[in-house]
Amino acid sequence: AQTVTQSQPEMSVQEAETVTLSCTYDTSESDYYLFWYKQPPSRQMILVIRQEAYKQQNATENRFSVNFQKAAKSFSLKISDSQLGDAAMYFCAVLGSNYQLIWGAGTKLIIKP
């Protein structure tokens, strides 16, 4: 069975600064995908960034980057130059061969102006 753990229920950061959200996971599969999704108050899940487990290079999308440590089963999200619009719930998820996304409990990100 796959599991995802997000140990930070809430994080806050000053606008324009950098914040890192933590995620650890467990899976017995060798080929899988990892995701960070953002869920604003509108409730719509929005894909932030995706990482293929077979790729060693960390994924980046503009101000968002990940630190993927496969051996440690760690997948943290770094947000640089935080903006007010980044405030939301952030969910880490893992996708295996059964195409079922397993999600963490989420981290609430607060941006202080």
Partner 1 sequence: EAGVVQSPRYKIIEKKQPVAFWCNPISGHNTLYWYLQNLGQGPELLIRYENEEAVDDSQLPKDRFSAERLKGVDSTLKIQPAELGDSAVYLCASSLQGSTEAFFGQGTRLTVV
103 binds partner 1 (CB under 8 A): yes
Q: Which stretch binds partner 1 (CB under 8 A): 13-21, 45-53, 61-69, 77-85?
A: 45-53
State which residue, 82 or 107, has the beta carbon closest to partner 1: 107
Cβ atoms 33, 100 nearer than 8 A: no
The residue type of 48 is V
Q: Scanning residues 2 to 21, which ones bind partner 1 (CB under 8 A)? A: 4
Residue 58 DSSP code: P
State which residue, 31 or 81, has the beta carbon closest to partner 1: 31
Among 1, 30, 43, 72, binds partner 1 (CB under 8 A): 43
Closest by CA position to 84, among listed 61, 112, 62, 63: 112
Cβ atoms 42, 58 nearer than 8 A: no
Neighbouring residues of 73: CB distance < 8 A, sequence distance ≥ 6? 24, 25, 26, 27
State which residue, 28 or 42, has the beta carbon closest to partner 1: 42
27 binds partner 1 (CB under 8 A): no
Contacting residues toward partner 1, per CB under 8 A: 4, 33, 42-47, 50, 91, 93, 95, 98-101, 103-106
